Amino acid sequence: MDFSIKTHDAKTSISTLKSGCIAVGVFENKKLSPQAQALDKTGEITAALKSGDISGKPGSTLLLRAVSDTAAERVLLIGLGPEGDISDKVISLAAVCVARIAATLGANDAVIALPFTAIKERDQAWAIRTTVQTLRDNSYRFDTLKSKKDTAPAGVKKFIFLATVAQTAAAKEAVAQAIALANGMDLAKDLGNLPGNFCTPTYLANTAKKLAKEFKLGVEVLDRKQLEALKMGSFLSVARGSDQPPKFIVLKHLGGKAKDAPVVLVGKGITFDSGGISLKPGGSMDEMKYDMCGAASVLGTFRAIAEMKLKLNVIGVIPASENMPSGSATKPGDIVTSMSGLTIEVLNTDAEGRLVLCDALTYVERFKPAAVVDIATLTGACITALGHHNSGLFTRHDSAHDGLANELLSAGKTSGDTAWRMPIEDSYQEQLKSNFADMANIGGAPAGSITAACFLERYTKKYTWAHLDIAGTAWKSGAAKGATGRPVPLLTNFLINRAAAVK
């Protein structure tokens, strides 16, 4: 799929543009957008509206062929709702409509001439990024393990956006940024969808090394011996039951000034979560191959910011392991000592995410981070709380953390990859009390996603920290089963905004 910007003088009519398809907007009450008007020399679009073939409501579409005095072979009308009220939601939906229809057309190229400059509270660059992201998202397939590939997708291969001379540079940058983001999301999706017998801790480590080579990033992979020397007793207790060796991955994108403190991303990398001795029930256990989506989002975000050459220091850390039952696996009641020195009573071996993350969160103290964000498919309880729409966002509640939380929330909104803030409070911390160790690794049924965050919070006292629980957002179940690439858009936008702020 190819995207480009065509500099177009606003004075010449878009009706002269040759293409397989041109997409323009129409409003409710049979009104045409300026672009639709330019193609309506003989009144055919007005006639289509009058006939009631398209309502003009958001989500409505109509494809016309061979419109008179229009060089494009097809005109795709897209409903935009009431005139003068083009919200970001309306444009996002319009992009979905373009993507759905473009995928089925016999056309090779399409001009997108929607009224991007009239959008409320956002700009043309935002609209271009959103459209590119939607088109790429829609065209994603994972068929590398099918012997007979899905039939080659038909549809539009080349998309052209229009911009005036003054808008062209910003529009080109928007396209480049959106492509880098889409490449990052594709990597996150591929890693998520790849099953546990392929996507092992070693595979994640090799992916990090490959990325590092391609984009000249720093990379280091620590093995079991080195983790023992670091006294990561909590992380290693999760890896005990598996035949696959654990890997601890450190990736460095140092695009900022040498003295600038880095942002650190920590991704949960459980390449398969069987629950361990506290074995999960069999139904949909296959989906626990997605338990490394936090790690995948870190690798995907690095793919994106490296391609963008982002001027910011960012370090990615991934504790990667399987969680399996065996004769050497950790047992319920076992007490382990984390790298911080704190002891943990493992009451449930299925609460393994926090056990691998706590040692990674202690490890990253050495970077003296400007901020640490961990990303994890941490709790089923987060799905109960927020469903599949929002990732759960947890931080302490003070001014430094409110600032970080707001940055992440706003980055989520801008990129359509939203999060919702949840509380961390001492009253929940009490649920983690253990009679035999410094803490238990579970806090009982009530508020499961909050007690999990409270567990992590204990290991993050030395820096500003946020936790994203992506259990509900990283993949889809059912007929549309597959990784979503979330929260790569949120994280990438957050980092782009940080880079702009330190300039």
Beta carbon nearer to Zn ion, 190 or 469: 469
Task: Provide the minimum distance between the beta carbon of 331 and ligand BES in the complex, in angstroms, as a whole number.
Answer: 15
Residues 198/142, Cβ–Cβ less than 8 Å: no
Binds Mn ion (CB under 5 A): choice among 40, 109, 190, 350:
350
Residues 378/362, Cβ–Cβ less than 8 Å: no
String of contacts with ligand BES for each residue 459-478, x by CB under 6 A = ------------x-------
Q: Which residues pair with 263 in a beta bridge?
A: 314, 371
Q: How far is CA 283 from CA 73, 119, 274, 287, 470, in A?
A: 50, 45, 11, 9, 20
Any catalytic annotation for residue 461? Answer: no
Residues 218/252, Cβ–Cβ less than 8 Å: yes
String of contacts with Mn ion for each residue 183-222, x by CB under 5 A = ----------------------------------------
Residues 248/330, Cβ–Cβ less than 8 Å: no
Task: Provide the minimum distance between the beta carbon of 273 and ligand BES in the complex, in angstroms, as a whole number.
Answer: 5
- Dist CA 226 CA 245 (whole Å): 12
- Dist CA 453 CA 358 (whole Å): 11
479: exposed, middle or buried (Cβ count in 10 Å: 0-12, 13-18, 19+): exposed
273 lies in the site for ligand BES, by CB under 6 A: yes
Q: Which stretch binds ligand BES (CB under 6 A): 37-45, 93-101, 176-184, 343-351?
A: 343-351
**Number of Cβ within a 10 Å radius of residue 460:** 22
291 lies in the site for Zn ion, by CB under 5 A: yes
164 lies in the site for ligand BES, by CB under 6 A: no
Pairing of strands 74-79, 61-65: antiparallel
Residue 59: left if φ>0, alpha if ψ -120 to 50, beta else—which one? left
Residue with the closest Cβ to Mn ion?
350
String of contacts with Zn ion for each residue 54-73, x by CB under 5 A = --------------------
186 lies in the site for ligand BES, by CB under 6 A: no
Q: Which does 138 bind (CB under 5 to 8 A by kind): ligand BES, Mn ion, Zn ion, none?
A: none
Binds ligand BES (CB under 6 A): choice among 186, 190, 352, 417:
352
Q: Which of 280, 311, 413, 476 is catalytic?
A: 280
Q: Which does 246 bind (CB under 5 to 8 A by kind): Zn ion, Mn ion, ligand BES, none?
A: none
Binds Zn ion (CB under 5 A): choice among 109, 273, 322, 345:
273
190 lies in the site for ligand BES, by CB under 6 A: no
Residues 131/85, Cβ–Cβ less than 8 Å: no
Which has the closest alpha carbon to 109: 180, 4, 182?
Answer: 4
Residue 38: left if φ>0, alpha if ψ -120 to 50, beta else—which one? alpha
Q: How far is CA 218 from CA 181, 204, 369, 408, in A?
A: 20, 15, 17, 25
Beta carbon nearer to Mn ion, 348 or 497: 348
234 lies in the site for ligand BES, by CB under 6 A: no
Instruction: State which of positions 34-93 bind Mn ion (CB under 5 A).
Output: none
Beta carbon nearer to ligand BES, 84 or 283: 283
59 Cα distance to chain centroid? 24
Task: Provide the minimum distance between the beta carbon of 114 and Mn ion in the complex, in angstroms, as a whole number.
Answer: 44
Any catalytic annotation for residue 280? Answer: yes
Q: Which of 354, 396, 458, 498 is catalytic?
A: 354
The residues annotated as belonging to the active site are: 280, 354
Q: Which residues bind ligand BES (CB under 6 A)?
A: 273, 291, 348, 350-353, 377-381, 442, 448, 471
- Give the residues lining the site for Mn ion (CB under 5 A): 273, 350, 352
